[in-house]
Amino acid sequence: MRRLPLLLNFLRTQRSGTMKNKDEQTGLVGLAIGAAVIGLVSAQKPINRDSIVEELVRLGRQKGDGVEDEIFKQAAILVRKGM
């Protein structure tokens, strides 16, 4: 559980006004998905597509500040589509 705030802090520090490139954006989306899974594991909740999407939405609302909010939103869309 201690690592989730560290991961969220990392997401915050890696953002910029605009994404520098697609690789950076992809990496941040991956970190957001990882943060959601870590949150579910630490809360002892089942890991499935729906629970990951719900956790991504929750984290985006909880920590969102515009750019970070958009990363969690993109991650939720990606997981929801199953790509």
Domain coordinates of the chain in residue numbers? 23-81
The better pLDDT of the pair 6, 77 is held by 77
Residue-wise pLDDT for 8-63, tens only, equals 666 666 554 455 678 888 899 999 999 999 999 999 999 999 999 999 999 988 86
> Which of 22, 40, 18, 20 has the alpha carbon at shortest distance from 30?
22
Q: Residue 31, Cβ neighbours under 10 Å: how many?
A: 17
pLDDT at 30: 94
Contact between residue 47 and residue 31 where contact means Cβ atoms under 8 Å apart: no
pLDDT at 6: 66
CATH 1.20.1300 fits 23-81, yes or no: no
pLDDT at 10: 66
Give the integer Cα–Cα distance in Å for 20 and 41.
31
Please, what is the Cα angle at 20 between 67 and 82, to 5 degrees? 65
pLDDT at 50: 97
